[in-house]
Amino acid sequence: MSENHRSGKLVGLIGAAGVKEAFHKKVRQRRLGVALVTFGISFLGLWLMIDIVGARGWTPLEVLEIGLFGVLFTNLAFGFTQAFLGFLVLAEGHEPLKITNTLDETTPLASTAVVMPVYNEDAETVFGNVRALYESIQQRHELDSYDFYILSDSTDPAKAIEEELAWSDICRQTNGFGKIHYRRRKLPVNRKSGNIADFCRRWGHRHRYMVVLDADSLMTGAAVSSLVRLMETNPRAGIIQTMPRLAKTETLFGRIQQFASRVYSPIFAAGLNFWQQGAGNYWGHNAIIRVSPFLASCALPGLPGREPLGGRILSHDFVEAALMRNAGWEVWFAYDLDGSYEGLPPNLTEYVKRDRRWCQGNLQHMWFLLAQNIQPISRIHLVQGILAYASAPLLVLFVLFGGLQAGIDRLQEKVGTFSAASAGVLLLMTVILLFGPKVLSLLHLFARPKEIASFGGPVRVLLSAVLETLFSILTAPVLVWFHTRFVLRNIGGQTVLWHTQTRDGGAGPRWIEIVREYWPLPIAGVGLGALAWWIAPSYLAWLSPMLIGLLLAIPVAKLSARTDLFRNLFLTPEELQPPQELSARFQLQLRDGDQFVHAVLDPFYNAVHVALQRSREAGSPAVDGYVASLATRLFKEGPECLTSQQKRALLADGETLAFMHNLIWKTPSEMMNPAWALALAQYRSSFRRNRSKPEAPQASLTKTHSAAA
Amino acid sequence: MAISPEYIALLRIGIGSSPEWKEAWERINDYLDALRTPDTIDRELILLSSFERAIVRKRRQPFTPATELAFEEAQKTLDFALRHLIDEGVSEDRRSVEQRVRLYLTENADGNFLGRTDEMSEEVRQALREVRLQAAPNLQVASITARPLEFSSPGKRIISLAEKLSPLGANRIVGWMIGLVILGLLVFGSLYRS
């Protein structure tokens, strides 16, 4: 009997009381081990820090500095411990306690909804990913068990039209009518979580499971079916989260993150599973959820107060996992299940923009730390989520307090005396905690020659790892800066606005846009550098990694969007030999240009949209009058005259849109608004050039005359 | 449908000689292109029969634009050509939409099936008659209701304290001043070591 098979049996037998107790004992031991290692490292670090700072007595600034150091160092130690244990698990070659041990390919499938909430996304990407999964499942002859739902909250009328056509086109191409569904909410109430809740209300009783995907998520049919089978085999599992790999990135920033995630995350993931077991977390996508307990227990409560920290929950995933756990269900992490992918913002600026939303969402989770009945492990997940952003202002305060104290000492001309040995050991410890996981990951990879070949070979991996480390050192101060800003604004009751807009075409934001957002960073770098130099040159040296990152923030942000740099480095197996689902390219028959105009002019766009609208029978006279007035304005003043909201109102009325279609087509050009005449002329010219000309009257006339002669 | 070549020639001369009818001809041709109607004899017949009727109507309605008349007659021709694919119960103003949906669904590399409906099997015709573009399945509603968040007693005390302090943090200037005062006190306190 193989080791894995025995492990599978072990977990499979967890239902039996004795084995269940053994399992819980084992998990308790593991958690105790993680706590001991983490706090052991932390106490050692703290002791060394106290030895360094407290050698000359104490000041309030130093006491606070030590407190902050304790929090930050413990967080760092926890990450390292997970990575180290994950490394050991992977080095040993088997993990008896993981959900995938219970996978049995002969387990029958069950009715499953694949849901993809979207919000003003690129339709080609969304529907391309859905189609890739659809065809992957089709090839496995397992389509009968699945339904696909694209749940749109798009508020942009053009995007909404594009989605409808993309849906009908993909259904037409794959014969997916009745399997691939599309639903758009008129109002995006409660955003993504409200979108999923709305799905549950409408079709919650139709499916036993739902696989939640993001707009940029992609999973293989094999992965999705494995998740369903794991759910069937583990009846106490409420959620199973996969470990999505980053894929399909093109920019330098994206490829560096893709490489880093592919190389470093396996040991972190194995370490995470090592201690959390059935008390795992949910990341909002690339996961399967058992619908019935989700309906019963995971509806999101309102938070006290108002946004940004109160009101509606923005970041729902951690909370849903906590609520699922509260209800007695398990949340597992299938960290070694292949075939789960996700995208990434293409450059540093877009990444920071995303962090702005996530930061606000994660900070809201502090309410759950004050709530009753939240399980301890769920609290740890919530704290980790909060610290992902809150650690930035804590780090800033730590540096600030240290700098202020050093400045005071400099003014008082007190010479600092501290234990050099303690400082050396602490520095070494910090370096190990920061970079140790990377080294362990590389060791893990280098121990597998076949695997390292799939990354382009050892030399490329090493070079990539060195450059990735440099890049992460440069970008870390930028992230600390923005995270601090986001946290402070949120605590002060404000949401952070962002003015930059990334241009299409992969070039990323322009210099001027980057300078507008990043200009304070190099100025802060120069100021801090001068201050540090005044305090002591050695202090400047200590701060230099942070200062270099601040000084170079603008060029680094610009370079991060480049697609032509280091194409031979940062290679991943998914880039070199992408699976079929990642490499598939699907062509949708979508027209370029303003999709709203197409909804009026194009006979097919118009017909599909109108056919998907509810009949206006129940409309009130006031609404009818409003829509009629919009239609009149649209015809008289052209397509640009309506606001986005007015366009949405008009689009919701199928009959009026069908009427507009006929009206535009049958009105002579000189009798309509020039903007419509131009739009119609452009639309007509888009396919006219391909037309042969038997019907051109003048040509036919000449031909007829010749024949008569 | 038998139309003599002489008649067609005369009709074309008539259309080609008037700018108004020429524009109408171009417009209807473009519309058929937008419907991906292939270049076949059936397309020619749709055009000619539509224009024939439109020209007759123009004599009775001289102030109605030729484009409008031609478009309406072309719609009627399409309606006639696809009549056996649309349920009779479908309202007049919805028929055009339903026709276009069917043309869209059956469109292939050769264009739409206008003029080729005779080649369709009865099974396909039946399917097309019954087709209804439905983006989402029928509802199977469920209830999902949130339970209010219950706070622990230390949690309640923290919230109560935060509520009392929140006016201080709500104002940016006051918030900054408080922060700077705290920092100042810390610096002052740190001038002397214990």
Contact assignment for B144 to A201 by CB distance below 8 Å? yes
A368 touches chain B (CB under 8 A): yes
441-500 in A: which are within 8 Å (CB) of B? 491-494
Q: What is the pLDDT of residue A84?
A: 96
Contact assignment for B29 to A695 by CB distance below 8 Å? yes
**pLDDT(A698) > 50:** no
Q: What is the pLDDT of residue A660?
A: 94
Q: How many whole angstroms separate alpha carbon A74 and alpha carbon A499?
A: 36
Q: What are phi and psi of A691, to 5 degrees?
A: -80, 135
% of residues, chain A, pLDDT over 70: 91
The tens digit of pLDDT for each residue in A25-51 reads: 999 999 999 999 999 999 999 999 999
201-260 in A: which are within 8 Å (CB) of B? 201-206
Q: What is the pLDDT of residue B174?
A: 85
Confidence of residue B176 (pLDDT cuts 50, 70, 90): confident
**pLDDT(A374) > 60:** yes
Q: What is the pLDDT of residue A457?
A: 95
- Per-residue DSSP letter, A55: B
Q: What is the pLDDT of residue B184?
A: 93
A409 touches chain B (CB under 8 A): no
Instruction: Yes or no: say if A162 and A124 are a contact pair by the CB < 8 Å rule.
Output: no
Q: What is the pLDDT of residue A707?
A: 30
Question: Mean per-residue pLDDT for A85-108?
Answer: 94
User: Residue B141, Cβ neighbours under 10 Å: how many?
Assistant: 11
Contact assignment for A408 to B190 by CB distance below 8 Å? yes
Rounded to the nearest integer, the mean pLDDT of chain B is 84
Nearest CB to A666; choose among B34, B71, B145: B71
Q: What is the pLDDT of residue A506?
A: 57
Distance to chain B for A401, nearest Cα, Å: 9
User: Residue A547, Cβ neighbours under 10 Å: how many?
Assistant: 21
Confidence of residue B8 (pLDDT cuts 50, 70, 90): confident
Token duo for residue B18: 């008037």
User: What is the secondary structure of chain B as a DSSP string?
Assistant: ----HHHHHHHHHHHHH-HHHHHHHHHHHHHHHHTT--SSHHHHHHHHHHHHHHHHHHHH-TTS-HHHHHHHHHHHHHHHHTGGGS-TTS-HHHHHHHHHHHHHHH-BTTB--TT-GGGS-HHHHHHHHH----SSPPP------PPPP-B-HHHHHHHHHHHHHHHHHHSHHHHHHHHHHHHHHHHHHTTS--
Contact assignment for A203 to B139 by CB distance below 8 Å? yes
For residue B66, which of B13, B6, B26 has the smallest C-alpha distance? Answer: B26
Question: Mean per-residue pLDDT for A156-181?
Answer: 92
A70 touches chain B (CB under 8 A): no
Cis peptide before A545 (omega within 30 of 0): no
Q: Which residues of B touch A606 (CB under 8 A)?
A: 97, 100
* Dihedral-angle region of residue A268 (phi above 0 means left; psi in -120 to 50 means alpha; beta otherwise): alpha
Q: What is the pLDDT of residue B116?
A: 65
**Cβ within 8 Å of residue A395, ≥6 positions away:** A68, A72, A480
| Three-state DSSP class for residue A476 | helix
Long-range contacts from A443-450, C-beta under 8 angstroms, 24+ separation: A443/A87, A444/A87, A444/A90, A444/A91, A444/A266, A444/A267, A445/A263, A447/A91
Confidence of residue A630 (pLDDT cuts 50, 70, 90): very high
Q: What is the pLDDT of residue B14?
A: 75
Q: What is the pLDDT of residue A31?
A: 96
Q: What is the pLDDT of residue A591?
A: 82
Contact assignment for B186 to A61 by CB distance below 8 Å? yes
For residue A612, which of A643, A645, A657, A647 has the smallest C-alpha distance? Answer: A657
**pLDDT(B193) > 80:** no
Q: What is the pLDDT of residue A586?
A: 79
Token duo for residue B121: 């099997």
Q: What is the pLDDT of residue A610?
A: 93
Confidence of residue A503 (pLDDT cuts 50, 70, 90): very low
Distance to chain A for B65, nearest Cα, Å: 7
Nearest CB to A372; choose among B12, B93, B150: B150
557-596 in A: which are within 8 Å (CB) of B? none
Q: What is the pLDDT of residue A462?
A: 97
% of residues, chain B, pLDDT over 70: 93
- Per-residue DSSP letter, A340: E
Nearest chain B residue to A611 by CA: give it. B133
Q: What is the pLDDT of residue A700?
A: 32
CA A536 to chain centre: 42
Contact assignment for B67 to A668 by CB distance below 8 Å? yes
Confidence of residue B108 (pLDDT cuts 50, 70, 90): confident
Q: Which residue has the tokens 């009945």?
A: A373
Q: Which residues of A touch B15 (CB under 8 A)?
A: 697
**Cβ within 8 Å of residue A400, ≥6 positions away:** none
Nearest CB to B33; choose among A181, A301, A691: A691
The tens digit of pLDDT for each residue in A351-373 reads: 999 999 899 999 999 999 999 88
Q: How many whole angstroms separate alpha carbon B183 and alpha carbon A448?
A: 53
Confidence of residue A498 (pLDDT cuts 50, 70, 90): low
Q: What is the pLDDT of residue A617?
A: 59
**pLDDT(A13) > 70:** no
Question: Mean per-residue pLDDT for B111-133?
Answer: 76
Nearest chain B residue to A700 by CA: give it. B12
Confidence of residue A415 (pLDDT cuts 50, 70, 90): low
Nearest chain A residue to B92 by CA: give it. A655
pTM, entire model: 0.89
Q: What is the pLDDT of residue A702?
A: 30
Contact assignment for A295 to B142 by CB distance below 8 Å? yes
Distance to chain B for A628, nearest Cα, Å: 16
Q: ipTM > 0.90?
A: no
Q: What is the pLDDT of residue A615?
A: 65
Question: Mean per-residue pLDDT for A433-456?
Answer: 95
Rounded to the nearest integer, the mean pLDDT of chain A is 89
Question: Mean per-residue pLDDT for B55-64?
Answer: 91
Sign of the dihedral defined by the CA atoms of residues B107, B108, B112, B113, in that order: negative
Burial letters for A211-243: b for 16+ Cβ neighbours within 10 Å, e otherwise?
Answer: bbbbbbbbbbbbbbbbbbbbbbbbeebbbbbbb
**pLDDT(B133) > 60:** yes
What angle, rounded to 10 degrees, do the helices at B19-34 and B5-17 form? 110
Instruction: Give the residue from A382, A666, A692, A703 with the most B CB atoms within 10 Å of its CB, the best one to mutate.
Output: A666
Position with higher pLDDT, A328 vs A3: A328
Of A262-276, A409-423, A570-584, B36-50, the one with minimum mean pLDDT is A409-423
A671 touches chain B (CB under 8 A): yes
Contact assignment for B94 to A658 by CB distance below 8 Å? yes
Contact assignment for A655 to B93 by CB distance below 8 Å? yes
CA distances from A480 to A398, A511, A539, B153 (A): 12, 21, 20, 34
